[in-house]
Amino acid sequence: MEKLRFMLLFIILPLTLAGLFYSKNDLPLEMVAFESLTDEEANLILVSPKDSIVEKVTVNNHIASLINKNYTKNKIYSVTFNGTETDSAGNLVVYVDLDRTDVVGKGFNEKQLSLL
């Protein structure tokens, strides 16, 4: 019986420790962004969070108006969820810090007008 406990401990302990070292940093940026959405925002995504565009962009005046005022870096990741455009706004965009774990803002990009 003692040998069985030792073997179980030998198997379970490494698995438990491995779970402690798993971090949000292991998640794709799309999923970090998706996890920050409200239910209403998530419902705009009809296909999959993977149907998005991830870019490293320079913080401009428009982006600065959508993100945390304490964010001081001049670069940021933007995750644009395709197919989330509404009648009044463009696609939903979530801004993630360069550390790839902290969401620092979100909003909608400007709606593209059709010339037709």
Write out pLDDT tens, residues 28-82: 999 999 999 999 999 999 989 999 999 999 999 999 999 999 999 999 999 999 9
Sequence-distant (6+) residues with CB within 8 A of 97 are 71, 73, 76, 77, 103, 104
Q: Which residue has the higher pLDDT, 86 or 28?
A: 28
Structure-token match 């999923």, residue found: 31
Dist CA 59 CA 74 (whole Å):
5
Q: How far apart are the first and last CA of the chain?
A: 78
Q: Are 59 and 78 spatial neighbours (Cβ–Cβ below 8 Å)? A: no
As a whole number, mean pLDDT of residues 70-97 equals 94
